Structure 1
C-alpha cells in the first residue's frame, strides 16, 4: 500500500534545504529550530498543499485531521491549549513562497481570540489592556485579509477612538477604550453583511485558505512576473505560536539587517518599537527607533541579538534580514532570509565576506547579478557632495538617492 503524501511538517522535521517544499520562511524557521535558536513552536503546510488547493478548494478538509494533530503537538510544546479557557494558545498564520516576496502575500496574527479566550488571555497575562489590544488587532487583520472588509473602516474608527481619548498612539488607549473598539470593529464587520467567526478552528481553516488564495492576488502575480518567479512554486503556510511584543515596556518587536542594505556597511541596520506587534513597525503607525538604541533599552536582549545575527550570517554565509519579538525580556526570532540590497551594497557585502573568509572568490562574483553591475554604471549623486536636504522621511526602500 502506498504511503499517503505528507503535507504537514513540524519545525523539527525540516531544514533550509527544503525551501521548494516548505517555502523560504518555513524552511528557515525549521533550520533555526534545528540549530537551537529561540523560535516559537509551529508547523508548516507545504507548497504541494497549495497546488492541491488550487485544484480543489475544499482540499484543506482532506488534511484537517493532520492539521489538528499538528496543533496538538504545538500545544504540548507551548504548554497551552488552542481555544482553551486557561492561558489559550494563539497562533500566527503566515505565507512563505520558496523565493522571498516581501509584502506580497498575507499574514494573520493573534488567531484564536474570541469573547471567551480574550478573558482567559487577560487573566493569564495579568493585563486586560494587552488582551483587548491583541483582540482588536486580530479582528482588524482577519476581517481585512480573510473576509475582505475594507481596512480603512477600521483605521478610521481607531483614529476616532484616539481623538476621543486625547491620545496620540495606539499603545496609550486604555483597556476600556479597547473594549469599546472591539465592539465597534464587530459592528463594521456586521454592517459589511458578514459574521465574524468565534470558533478558533474555523478561524484557522479560513486563514489557511486566505494565505493560499494570496498566491494569486494581482499584486503577487505582478511581482512574480517582474522578478521571474515561477507560477508553479506556490506558497507554504507557517502556523506559529504567538509571542507578544505588546505586553508592556519589557516587550517589543523589530526588523533588522545584519549589514546595511543601502551601503553594505558591516553593522546592524534596523529598527524596533517597544510595546508593539510586528505590523506596527512596517505600517508606520508609530515611528520606530534605531536598533542601536536597544542596547540601552534592553542591554541583555541586544547582546543576545548581536550573537544570533552573527551566527545566522555565518550559518547562511550571506547578509540576513531578521524579524524578531521580545516578550517580557526574552528574545524570539520569527524569520530570517537573505537580505535585499542595492547594487553598491551587493558588491561591498560580497567583497567583505570574501575577505572575512565566509565565502570563496567564485561565490563573491556570483553574488553580484549582471543587472546590478549595470546599475553601478549609471550616473549617481556623489555621496561626498555637500547638499542641503529639502525634506526628511522614513525610508520604505533603499531608493536611488539619500538625503
Structure 2
C-alpha cells in the first residue's frame, strides 16, 4: 500500500516532488535543528489520488491519525481538547512555489467549548475569540464555499459601529459577537452548521486544500508560470503558534538579501500582535523588519543568526516566514526567494565572491532573458527628485 504521510523529521528538501516545497523545506529546517513547530506532510501522491477519484485514498485517514497522535504527544495536548486545545494549521505546498494561489486554514480544532478553554490557558478572552472567528472565516470560505466578501462585510460593519480603523480596535466582546455573526452567516449561506468536531474540521480542511489545486486562481497561475497541471499539492499540517497573543508576539517575512537589488542587509516586514495571514493580506500596515531590533532584541538577534545559517545552507537568497509567540521565535517557512533580473546577477556574483558557489553555478542561475531586461531604459536611481507622493507597494 502506498504511503501518504511523513513526519517533518522523516523528510528533507530533496523530497520536494513528494512533500511539496513548503513541506520539504520545513523538514529540512527540522533536520537542521531550527525552531520549527512539529507537524507532518500529506503527500502530492495523496492529492493526485483525491483529484482522480473525488475521495481520499485508502489508508490516508489512518496515517493522518497516527501522525496526529505523535504531534499531540509532543505538545502534551489533544486536538480540540476542551480545557487546553491543541490547534493546527493546514496549508498547501506544491512542488513549485505558487504564493497565494491555494488555500490555508488556521486554528483548526476550535469549537464553542474549546474556545473557552483557550481563553483560560492563554489568559486572554480577546485572543481566543479572535482565533475562533479567524477559523470560522477561513473554514467558511475555503471549505464551505461562503464568499469571502461576506465575512469582510460583517467585519467592516462591526468596525464601523466601534469606530475602529482595523481589528485591533475591537475588544473581546466584539470578537465574541463577530464569531456568532460568522456562524449565523455560514448557516444562512450553506444551510449547514459550522462543524464542532475537530477531527471533521481537519479532514475537511485537508480535502479542501487538495481541491484548491484546481481553483481558477491556481490554474491561471500555473498557465502563466508554465507549471505542469498534473503535479498536485502536498498539505502541511502543523501545530499552531500564535503571533496574535499581544505586544510580545507577532509575525513577519524576511529576505537574506534585497530581492530587488541583491544587496545584503536586513529586508522584510514585521507586524506585532498578528498572525501570518495579516502580514500578507494588507489589512494592517507592517513595520520594517529592522524595527524588530527595538521591539524584541533577543528574537531579532536569533532571526539574524538563522537567516545567515539558511543562506549558507541553501547557498542562495532565502525567503523566510516566522512567528514570535510571547518572545519565542518559530520558523514557519523558507524557500529560495524570487528576485528581479538585476538582483539575480548581483546575487550570483556576490555568492561567487563569498566562495559559496563557483562561476559555473553562477552562470546557471542567470538567464539571457534576465540580461535582456537589464538592457531596457530605466530611471536613473542616482538622481534625486522631489517626490510627488508616497504610498505603500502592493499588487493584486
Q: How many Å separate the matches in 2 of 1:241 and 1:153?
A: 28
Distance 1:390 1:339, change over 3 A: same
Per-residue CA deviation, residues 319-354 of structure 1 (Å, 9 max, x unaligned), is: 011000000100000000011111001111111111
Output the TM-score relative to the length of structure 2: 0.97
Superposition deviation, residue 385 in structure 1: 2.6
Identify which of 90, 112, 119 aligns with 1:115: 112
Q: How many Å separate the matches in 2 of 1:183 and 1:369?
A: 54
Equivalent residue number for residue 381 of structure 1: 379
Structure 1, unmatched stretches of 5+, are none
**SS in structure 2 opposite 1:395?**
coil
**SS in structure 1 opposite 2:237?**
strand
Superposition deviation, residue 60 in structure 1: 4.7
Superposition deviation, residue 61 in structure 1: 6.0
Q: How many Å separate the matches in 2 of 1:363 and 1:87?
A: 50
Q: How many Å separate the matches in 1 of 2:239 and 2:271?
A: 20
Q: How many Å separate the matches in 2 of 1:35 and 1:60?
A: 32
Equivalent residue number for residue 93 of structure 1: 90
Identify which of 173, 178, 183 aligns with 2:180: 183
Superposition deviation, residue 27 in structure 1: 0.2
Equivalent residue number for residue 391 of structure 1: 389
**SS in structure 1 opposite 2:50?**
helix
Output the TM-score relative to the length of structure 1: 0.96
Q: How many Å separate the matches in 2 of 1:160 and 1:16?
A: 45
Q: How many Å separate the matches in 2 of 1:76 and 1:144?
A: 31
Equivalent residue number for residue 24 of structure 1: 21
Q: How many Å separate the matches in 1 of 2:65 and 2:368?
A: 47
Identify which of 73, 78, 87 aligns with 1:76: 73
Q: Which of 244-253 and 214-223 deviates more?
A: 214-223
Q: Give the 5 Å matches for 1:2-401.
A: 4-60=1-57, 62-193=59-190, 194-396=192-394
**SS in structure 2 opposite 1:337?**
strand
Q: How many Å separate the matches in 1 of 2:385 and 2:216?
A: 40
Q: How many Å separate the matches in 2 of 1:148 and 1:372?
A: 41
Contact kept in structure 2, 1:60 and 1:205, CA below 8 Å: no
Superposition deviation, residue 371 in structure 1: 1.8
Q: How many Å separate the matches in 2 of 1:60 and 1:325?
A: 33
Q: How many Å separate the matches in 2 of 1:218 and 1:283?
A: 19
**SS in structure 2 opposite 1:157?**
helix
Per-residue CA deviation, residues 15-70 of structure 1 (Å, 9 max, x unaligned), is: 11000000000000001001100000000000011111112122256411111111
Contact kept in structure 2, 1:253 and 1:276, CA below 8 Å: yes
Q: How many Å separate the matches in 2 of 1:208 and 1:179?
A: 27
Equivalenced residues, count: 395
Per-residue CA deviation, residues 376-399 of structure 1 (Å, 9 max, x unaligned), is: 1112111113333333222236x9
Per-residue CA deviation, residues 179-232 of structure 1 (Å, 9 max, x unaligned), is: 001001111111103321111111111111111111111211121121111122
Distance 1:123 1:106, change over 3 A: same
Contact kept in structure 2, 1:253 and 1:277, CA below 8 Å: yes
Superposition deviation, residue 86 in structure 1: 2.6
Q: In angstroms, what is the RMSD of aligned CA positions?
A: 1.3
Q: How many Å separate the matches in 2 of 1:140 and 1:331?
A: 26
